[in-house]
Each structure stands twice: as structure tokens, then as C-alpha cells.
Structure 1
């Protein structure tokens, strides 16, 4: 009996050891395939983007095809490969037992074990390294040691006057990178239709060289940076702070402790409305907007309920920009009429989607370039231009400010177009246009500011006067000088480190719904 115990223990150890080997193989394959998928669809991303975006993909109207490819590629394929390897190994062991292990030379067994161990190690190390590099784990870990904290620079917006408040239209252009207007790099300037209706000679202004903030690069980062004035970081950034203990997995607001654009406008009587062609639940966009003063959010489900025919939708995202802008025209007609009747101003925010890659060519768009992405961009800008013309024809530009800007630079993932033109480009900027009724067309905006500065810029475009022109980490582009002590007065390297910093206390309070300023 005593002789059987060591034998049983050894067998259990062998089974446990083999199980761990197969778990490591599965994990290595899953990480390797995940890294390849992320690189293909999004390029190199951050840990924050992965946690905030990839975990909230929607099957319907939020990258649905990617969901199924992710389930198949990351969930099913590594499991099938691992099971296949396990069955093959089991079959070989049974065959050896039938043929007799004692007749097999010892040296080849050691060679096979060494090769097998090396292959398993290669899969595990390769998969882990590829995934860590793809999502910037190294950058994330380095940021934990930063001495900077956003809370030391965050400015709660203080409105000193709202006597000149006006209606606001805010249009986000999906992947609206100004570099795409260079007809020396591309087949044509895709922004020509929009440029024609937003000429400087007619009074439109722009921030020369608008920068994507460091660490940004996806839609929710674009929305929160330009509407809250802070980099978008998830609950993970709150780890290590005392306030993080109060956070649970079911936070019921989205950065509820930060005061954002919709909050300020709502406080000053605005009716905030958002229109988007995709599912607003994707990346918790609806939670963000609902947490910050938007009382109406219209998305994919609303357009379907309105009877839009299926040909007007793309299966992976949603409604075409042609139809979205048609609904935007109807919406602004109603909002403007209501504002004239009640005296209550409005904020209409719109997010396009046609230019989200992989691009889809709707029936309304004629492809006249070799690369269809260029034509799709041009077609989308034509629809936005038509909306601007509608506002001008109706006389809305007499009392309504308009801010048009890209939500981020164009993605440069492995599956996207324009690598040759953009990969090594040293001056990639975001397209933008600003209209202020009655504004001096000779005035200039502070150049080369980043997206965080657009938050106070938009508030001032709406006619609200801000103390020190400041909100969040930003200073309005309408201000020629930056206040001393502002984050915008920092040198480039410390400023970059500030934006990268985890700032655990700040984000713990922001996500807990507390006042993030201190």
C-alpha cells in the first residue's frame, strides 16, 4: 500500500504538470492571436483603450463583425489547437505504451522533450511579448512611477458671464485628420466640399495644427478630451489610491466626478442632444453623455425605429452619414424653433461614422479614386457640408456657434490604408473649423494646441466667459496667453509625463462621481 502512494502522487503530478503546459499553450496562442488582431484592426493601442473600448464592443452597430472574429480567433481557435495538441500527445503516449517504452532509445526522448519545451516556451514568451508590446504594457507600468498628478493642474470651469450664450452645434468627424487634405500625398483633397462652405473669408476660423493629445487616438478619448479637458483613463488608474477602495465594479456614472461640457451647458439652461449613426452603447458612449447633461441620445435603434431601410446601414456600425445628416437637419429645425419659442439655447452634437475603417461604400457615394477610402472621406465631408449649407440657408448661423473637428487622427493599423503617406509623416494634425456669429474674421486662435484645450474653446464659442479661459487641463484657443501654473504652460516633456501619469487619486474621485478638483 505504501508503495502505491508515491506512484499515485507521481501520476497526479504528471497530470497537473501536463494540464499547466496545455494552459500555457492556450494562453500563449490566445495572446498571440489577440495581438495580431489588435494590430490589424487598431494598430498599437494603450492598456486604457483596451480596457475601456475592447471590452464594450457591441454585436449590433458597434463593430459586430469584430466581436465574432474575436470570439472565434481568441476564444475558439487557441482552444481547438490546444485540444488538438493534447489529443495528439495522448495518442503518441498510447502508441508508445503499446509498442513498449523500454525498446525506445533514451537520447531521442530527451531531444523530443527539449524541443517540446522550447516550442511551448516560444509560444508563451512570444504571445506574451507580442500582446504586451501591442497594448503598451511597458508604458503603462512606467506611468505608475510618475510624480505628476492631474489633480494638481485640473481647473474646475468657472463661468463668469453667460449673457452672450448662444446655440451650439458640435460635429465630430470620424478619423477627421487634416493631413488627408494634402493633395500632393493623396489622389485628391477629401475635405474640399467642407472647406468650400467654411471659408476663412466668410468668417470661419480654425486652430492651426490641432494636435491629438498624447495617449489619445480613439473616439471616446476624443469625446472626453474635448468635452472634459482630461485624458481618458479607466478605473485601473485609480488603483493604489485610498479613494479606490470606495469604487465597485458597478460605477453608475462615466467620469461623473469631472465637470464636462454637457454639465456646464445644462447648468446654464441648454438642451443637449446627441446624434450618432452607431450603437451608443458601444464603448459606453451613452453612459458618458447621460452622465454629463445630455437629455437626448439618438442612435442606431432610433433610426431603425424611424423606418430607415436596411440599405442605409452598414452591418458593422450603423447608419450612413447621408441619412444621419438628413436627420440632423430635421433635428436642428426643431431645436432652433424651440429655442426661438422658449428662449432656451441648445447644443446639438453629431458624430459621423462613414470614414471608420474598414470603409463601407454606401449607394449614395460614387467612388472616383483608385483608393476607395479617399472617395468615402470626400462623400462624408460632402454630407457634412450639406448640413452646414442647410444651417446657413435657414439663417441659423446668425445665432448659432458651430465647431467641426475630427475625433482623432486616422488609425494606422495593419489593415488600414495610407501607411505609405502617413507612417513617417511628422506633422499629422486634426481638421477643425469654428464659426462664431459676429466674430471678427481677422482674429486668430492660438496654434498647435491639443484636444484638451478644445473643451474651454467650445465653451467660449458657445458664448460663456470663463475665468482665466481655463477648464480641465486646457486653456481656450481664443486666449493668446496661457496662465502661469497651467498644465499648458509646462515644457513638452513634463506635460507628456503628466498626461501619461495614472493620477490615481484624481481618477478614483472622477470615476466615483466625486469632485475631481482639489
Structure 2
């Protein structure tokens, strides 16, 4: 090779080397800035939460978070890039140039390696990855089957009012009362817990339960608190409504109370069918379903009325009063289970009675919920049935709101709000208890005056007893790690039929329809959908609804009513501004509703918004 050729190769190598050095340095800088931003954005971050945040963007905050990421991570990285380019251009002497390149490469590798290693250890990534593909015998070893336990109820059975409070944490109280905020946004709930039992010992600081893996969304939380088990299943967490059974062989709170002759009702302002709630509560306890669909069909709410996830909590508590008076007139003890919804993220739903006391909407919604619960409890206390009624107030899970708790101290332990009211049972220990939401299963049974042999049900321990809970025995990290892994017993109890739809489709018995999604209309913000060729639906179709969401956990789910056209097909334009102009895939599931209010899944499609 001649001199000219060698010079060309040297110059080419120098250009490639420079580009690779700059690229490596930029990647290292972006990685470091991103990891720092990640931990600043989500305090007490775990791999479970990180995977959730990565795969499930939050409605209403996506744009703000993207802008924040650009400002905190991308802009400084660009400045690093410009600095390197200027520095390399200025240092043209060969020795200095190659020395700088060497420093850049080695420094980038050391810096990025150190930061990544720190994040790896902080998130415990190794154990997380290991847990996703390995089995644990923890649940198998420590699960106490209620069928094998003697439970003795008093002759005069107490009524139960169990109120699941959407996303309610002890965190929202002020620091003086055990919360993490400077101002207490739930003063009424704080007072109610202090007047009742939250197992905080001799202190007035609020105490609550830890939400373990498998219990950090609404259906998972309701399942955990009434069965003592995590909802760890082999299908998507909110897809239990595709099954014929919901842990059929598992004995739950509803099963126990049904056996004792209780009349049971589930009162919620959203659709009970979603996430398998209707399936679970009807199969385990034969609950009467009084949900949004029921309210629409019976005239409890005006035809077509819908806000947020259904109807607001202000109406829910009004309906609860009417239902309680009805139940109290029966000859049997009752269990009224309720679920609020206004405090669902993102930022909640501000009803007409919400105060304007705080700078952010979510605090005002929390404050409104706190006040409404207290007013409802005060009304109950005035009723004749109160004397023989135990009331449980329980947050379902910690909030998924992206920024509401971002400024709390990193060592603060977020817990689910808990209060047992008007129970005749006294605690056996004055010590503060450490417990999970699994422990609420046997504790609720005990709060009705029942005696539980061994004081354990499921993975839970009766908190009125002095018996150790599993996290008091093993600690939170160990229990989280073990609960997050697979379990042979859980697979047996769940008995998930992952091929159910494939079998029905093969036999031509699966209800179905053709779902066509047209191109996104940018100017009008509409995503047109047409449903046609509906088949294998029993009964007369009264209406057609679409369940639409973008987040993997369906946290931004919207139900959309379709209109039938002259051609007999159903049409609707999905309002993309209603999803905060979220780009990417839109999951679209069609449901036919018959004259009895039964919903039949017809299939699904995916729409793209770019």
C-alpha cells in the first residue's frame, strides 16, 4: 500500500475512533443522567415499579414527564456532546488527542459501569430477574387453607361493612400523625383511624398494611384482603374476566360468610365485570352486584350518565345508605362491601362538593373523600344496626399517581390506610404491628367476634392476636422476594385456562365480530372504529360498548358507547384528546350488552395513533 493509502486509512481510523469515543461518552452521560432522574422521579423505586412505569405510561402526566426527562437528561447530554466536540477539535496535537480519546473511553466505561452497578444493586435486578423464572415454596409452605381451620362465630352474628378506599395511603396524613406530608389532606380519616384500631400500638401515628407483589392494583388488592393470597397468575392481571372460574377451590371471606348465612352485596360505581370482580364476588359468596351497569339499568342514575370510571362517590354513599336500610330490615346478618373511585389516579375526579383547599387537584380529591367517608360513618353511627356492625376502612393499594408522593422522604414506608371500627375484639398486644394486606383476611373474620383456630388464614395472621405475622417473622425484603416468584400451589389454585378462547374459536362457539379501525384523523382527533358481523351472541343486543386503553395495566381505561347505523353496523369515533393525545397502540375491546345487562366479549383490535 502506498503512502497515500496509509494516510487515508489513518484518517479514516481517526474519524471512526473519534466518533466512537464521542458516542460512548454521550451514551454514558445519558445513562448516568437517566438513572439519576429515575431515582429522583420515583422514590423507593423497585424493579416491579420500574417495569410498571416503563410499560404503563400514566394518563395526564406523560407530556410533563417527557418534558422533564428532556430537560434533566437530554439537554445536559447534548451539552456534554458539544463540549467533547469542541475539546477534540481544539486539541489537534497527536499525543494530546490520543490521550484525550483514551481518557474519554476509559472514563466513560468506569463512570457508566459504576452508575449501572449502583442502580443494579439498588433495584436488586439480579433477584428480580431470578424471581421471574424460578419457583418458591414460600406460599406453598405457609399458606393456611381456611377449609382446614375451625372457625367459630358467635350466636348473634355481627354485620360487616367493608369499604375499599381507592388508592388511600397513610402517607397523606401529616408527619405528626404518621404521614409524610406537611399538611394533612385526610384529617377525617386520620381521626377515624386514631379512634378505632389500626394496630399502631400505644402511639397515635397511623399504621397500615404493606401491599405485596400481586396486590398493588384494585382487583389484586380486593383478592388479597379477602383471600390472603397474591393475585399472581399466568395471564394479564385484569384478564380474569376471560375465565369461567376465579380461584374456584380457594376459600375466601365471602365463602366463609356465605356459609354462616350472611346476605352479601358488592356496591361499586364502576363496572363489576372489569378485572373479574363480578366473577370473583359471585363465585365466592354469591354477592349481589350493584355496580354502574345495575345503576344504569334500574334508573339509579340517569340514562347515559357517566363520569370518570362510572358515577362519583357522592352518589355511591347515597346509594349505600339506602342499601343499608334495606339490608338492616332483613332477618339475616349482612356484608356490604363497597369500593370508592374518585381518588383513582391520575389526579382523581373532583366532584361538585370537592374543596379548593390545596394547590393540586389530587389533594383536594383526597380531602373530599376523607370528608365523605366521615359523614357516611357518622350517619351509620346514628342507625339502629350500628351497635351490631363492624366497619372496615381499607385502602386498596398505594396510589399509582406519578408525582403525588415524589417529594416524600426516601426512607418513608408507604402503607395502605387501615381502620377497624366498632369491633368487640380487643388486641392482645400493645406493640405496633408490622403487617401486609394479606393479614386483613383473618383479621376481618376475627373482628366479627369469630374465633379462628391458630389465628391464621391464607398468608394472613389475625392482628388482634399476639401471633407473629409473616413479615414480622421474615422481614419485608424476604417476603416480597418470595411472593414475587412462581408457586406450584398458586398455579394449582388459580387453574388458569390460557387456551379457553382458542378452543371456543376452534369449535365455532366463540362470540365474535369484525372490528375495523380506520386511520387516525389528526385534524379532528378521532380514531374511527366500526363493529360488524356480530355472531354467536345469546339474547338480543341492546347496546355495544368499547373498552379502550393505552396503558398495559388498563389504568386509563375508558368505556365508549357505540351507535348503530342504518347499515346495521356499529360506529364510533374514539376521542383521542380524552386520552391526553397519547401516541402509540390503543387496545380496543368490543362488548355486546343484552337486555339482561349481560356483557359478551366480541373480540379486540389495535388502533395506532402516531
Q: Offset of 1:161 from its aligned partner?
A: 1.2
Structure 1 residue 394 corresponds to structure 2 residue 383: yes
Equivalent-residue separation in structure 2 for 1:312 and 1:325 (angstroms):
17
Equivalent-residue separation in structure 2 for 1:236 and 1:513 (angstroms):
8
Name the SS of the counterpart of 1:211 in structure 2: coil
Task: Quote the residue 1:478 is aligned against.
Answer: 464
Unmatched 5+ stretches in structure 2: 1-37, 63-122, 201-206, 498-610
Kindly provide the CA deviation profile for residues 461-507 of structure 1, in whole angstroms up to 9, marking residues without a partner as x.
12221111110011110111239xx786335444333212210x212
Question: Conserved in 1, the CA contact under 8 Å of 2:165 and 2:393?
Answer: yes
Q: Cα–Cα, structure 1 residues 274 and 252, in superposed 2: closer, same or farther, change >3 Å?
A: same
Equivalent-residue separation in structure 2 for 1:447 and 1:299 (angstroms):
35
Kindly provide the CA deviation profile for residues 59-78 of structure 1, in whole angstroms up to 9, marking residues without a partner as x.
xxxx9x89xx9xxxxxxxxx
Question: Which structure carries more relative contact order (alpha carbon 8 Å, separation 6+)?
Answer: 1
Kindly provide the CA deviation profile for residues 142-174 of structure 1, in whole angstroms up to 9, marking residues without a partner as x.
343244241222101223311253111101111
Name the SS of the counterpart of 2:345 in structure 1: coil
Task: Quote the residue 1:368 is aligned against.
Answer: 357
Task: Quote the residue 1:142 is aligned against.
Answer: 131
Task: Quote the residue 2:504 is aligned against.
Answer: none
Task: Quote the residue 1:206 is aligned against.
Answer: 198
Structure 1 residue 314 corresponds to structure 2 residue 307: yes
Task: Quote the residue 1:352 is aligned against.
Answer: 340
Aligned-pair Cα RMSD in Å = 3.7
1:192 to 182, 187, 193: 187
Question: Conserved in 1, the CA contact under 8 Å of 2:224 and 2:438?
Answer: yes
Name the SS of the counterpart of 2:265 in structure 1: strand
Q: Cα–Cα, structure 1 residues 193 and 249, in superposed 2: closer, same or farther, change >3 Å?
A: closer
Equivalent-residue separation in structure 1 for 2:186 and 2:376 (angstroms):
14
Q: Cα–Cα, structure 1 residues 446 and 252, in superposed 2: closer, same or farther, change >3 Å?
A: farther
Q: Cα–Cα, structure 1 residues 458 and 347, in superposed 2: closer, same or farther, change >3 Å?
A: same
Q: Cα–Cα, structure 1 residues 508 and 428, in superposed 2: closer, same or farther, change >3 Å?
A: closer
Question: Conserved in 2, the CA contact under 8 Å of 1:224 and 1:230?
Answer: yes
Q: Cα–Cα, structure 1 residues 410 and 152, in superposed 2: closer, same or farther, change >3 Å?
A: same
Q: Cα–Cα, structure 1 residues 191 and 214, in superposed 2: closer, same or farther, change >3 Å?
A: same
Task: Quote the residue 1:28 is aligned against.
Answer: none
Q: Cα–Cα, structure 1 residues 510 and 147, in superposed 2: closer, same or farther, change >3 Å?
A: closer
More strand by share: 2
More helix by share: 1
Kindly provide the CA deviation profile for residues 99-125 of structure 1, in whole angstroms up to 9, marking residues without a partner as x.
xxxxxxxxxxxxxxxxxxxxxxxxxxx
Question: Conserved in 1, the CA contact under 8 Å of 2:425 and 2:449?
Answer: no
Q: Cα–Cα, structure 1 residues 436 and 513, in superposed 2: closer, same or farther, change >3 Å?
A: farther
2:435 to 409, 426, 449: 449
1:199-238 alignment to 2 at 5 Å?
199-200=194-195, 204-208=196-200, 209-215=207-213, 216-235=215-234
Q: Cα–Cα, structure 1 residues 278 and 140, in superposed 2: closer, same or farther, change >3 Å?
A: farther
Question: Conserved in 2, the CA contact under 8 Å of 1:206 and 1:445?
Answer: no
Structure 1 residue 167 corresponds to structure 2 residue 150: no
Equivalent pairs, count:
374
Question: Conserved in 2, the CA contact under 8 Å of 1:445 and 1:480?
Answer: no
Equivalent-residue separation in structure 2 for 1:183 and 1:369 (angstroms):
17
Task: Quote the residue 1:154 is aligned against.
Answer: 143
Equivalent-residue separation in structure 1 for 2:475 and 2:173 (angstroms):
30
Q: Cα–Cα, structure 1 residues 489 and 308, in superposed 2: closer, same or farther, change >3 Å?
A: same
Task: Quote the residue 2:321 is aligned against.
Answer: 329
Task: Quote the residue 1:409 is aligned against.
Answer: 398
Question: Conserved in 1, the CA contact under 8 Å of 2:131 and 2:486?
Answer: no
Equivalent-residue separation in structure 1 for 2:305 and 2:208 (angstroms):
32
Question: Conserved in 2, the CA contact under 8 Å of 1:401 and 1:436?
Answer: yes
1:256-335 alignment to 2 at 5 Å?
256-305=248-297, 306-309=299-302, 313-315=306-308, 317-335=309-327
Q: Offset of 1:137 from its aligned partner?
A: 11
Unmatched 5+ stretches in structure 1: 1-35, 55-62, 70-133, 238-247
Q: Cα–Cα, structure 1 residues 411 and 45, in superposed 2: closer, same or farther, change >3 Å?
A: farther
TM norm structure 2: 0.55
Equivalent-residue separation in structure 2 for 1:292 and 1:420 (angstroms):
41
Q: Cα–Cα, structure 1 residues 324 and 45, in superposed 2: closer, same or farther, change >3 Å?
A: farther
Equivalent-residue separation in structure 2 for 1:502 and 1:435 (angstroms):
36
Equivalent-residue separation in structure 2 for 1:507 and 1:46 (angstroms):
19
- The runs of at least 4 consecutive aligned structure 1 residues that moved more than 6 Å come to none
Q: Offset of 1:354 from its aligned partner?
A: 0.7
Question: Conserved in 2, the CA contact under 8 Å of 1:149 and 1:502?
Answer: no
Equivalent-residue separation in structure 1 for 2:423 and 2:138 (angstroms):
38
Q: Offset of 1:235 from its aligned partner?
A: 2.7
Q: Offset of 1:307 from its aligned partner?
A: 4.1
TM norm structure 1: 0.64
Question: Conserved in 2, the CA contact under 8 Å of 1:320 and 1:354?
Answer: yes
Q: Offset of 1:513 from its aligned partner?
A: 8.7
Q: Cα–Cα, structure 1 residues 45 and 323, in superposed 2: closer, same or farther, change >3 Å?
A: farther
Q: Offset of 1:301 from its aligned partner?
A: 1.3
